[in-house]
Structures are given as structure tokens and as C-alpha cells.
Amino acid sequence: MSGETSPDITESNRKVFEIPFNPTNKYQLSIHEMRSKNDPNNIRLYYLLVMKGTPEAILEKCSTIFIDGKDIPINDYWRNQFQNTNIKLGSLGERVLGFCDLLLPTQKYPIGYQFNGETINFPIENLRFLGLMSMI
């Protein structure tokens, strides 16, 4: 990780908003204020929305999948891949989580934007599916 420690990474990409996991939503969402790695002044440039939760709940929120460095529309092929992998991991008795994200456009969500969990004034659909992880 190029010499950065966990506290450095956490501070430079600090969480500014969170919706905790709950059994109704079946996901946890947080929004982080990100900075450019190439900016020597560490200017905060944009927000990144990240979500984790049950695999089905996460996939339902996504319209693209991140494959080989590219965002690809989710189609039947990728849905089948997801189903097969999720079933395989689940059959091992492991807890499976899905992950997705969305870079929030700075024109609509400038630094200082006040995110609101009551009115959900930010997108929670058309996210980018990142993958599954199983935990022993």
C-alpha cells in the first residue's frame, strides 16, 4: 500500500455519512470524502458512495459490474455468474457479502453537500457491482 498506514488512509478518505445495516434494507451504506492520490495538497475532490450487504440486495441496486477495469452493463450472463458464485459460496456454510460503489458527480454533490438519510437525497440505484466476499 505504498507506505500509507491504515489511519492515514482512513483520514484521507474520511466517512461523512452512514446508514447502518438493518434487516429491512439488508445493506450498510457509507459516503466518503475522497482526495486525489496525485494531489500534493491533499485537496478533497469528490464523494464515493460504498455499500455492502446481502448479495441479492446489493445486486438489485446495481446496473453495472466492474470487470477488468471497466464498467460493464449487467446482463443475464453476469446475473447467472452471480447466482452460481453466490450459491457455491453459500453452500460452503460461509456468510457472503456483496459490495458496490458509485462515484458521486461533483456538479450535483459538491464538497460540503449535506447528505440526508431521511429523504435519501443521493442515489441508491444504478450502482456499480464490485464483487462478493465470503467470511468463514
The H or E element that residue 70 is part of is strand 70-73
Q: Which domains does the chain have, with CATH numbers?
A: 6-135 (3.40.1110.10)
b/e string for 38-50 if b means 16 or more Cβ within 10 A?
eeeeeebebbebb
Q: What is the pTM of this model?
A: 0.86
pLDDT, one tens digit for every residue, the chain (136 residues): 455 555 565 566 889 999 999 999 999 999 999 887 666 666 668 899 999 999 999 999 999 999 999 999 999 999 999 999 999 988 888 889 999 999 999 999 998 999 999 999 999 999 999 999 998 7
36 Cα distance to chain centroid: 18
Nearest-angstrom CA–CA distance, 19 and 95:
21
Task: Judge contact between 109 and 88, C-beta under 8 A.
Answer: no
The H or E element that residue 87 is part of is helix 76-91
Over residues 73-87, the pLDDT tens digits come to 999 999 999 999 999
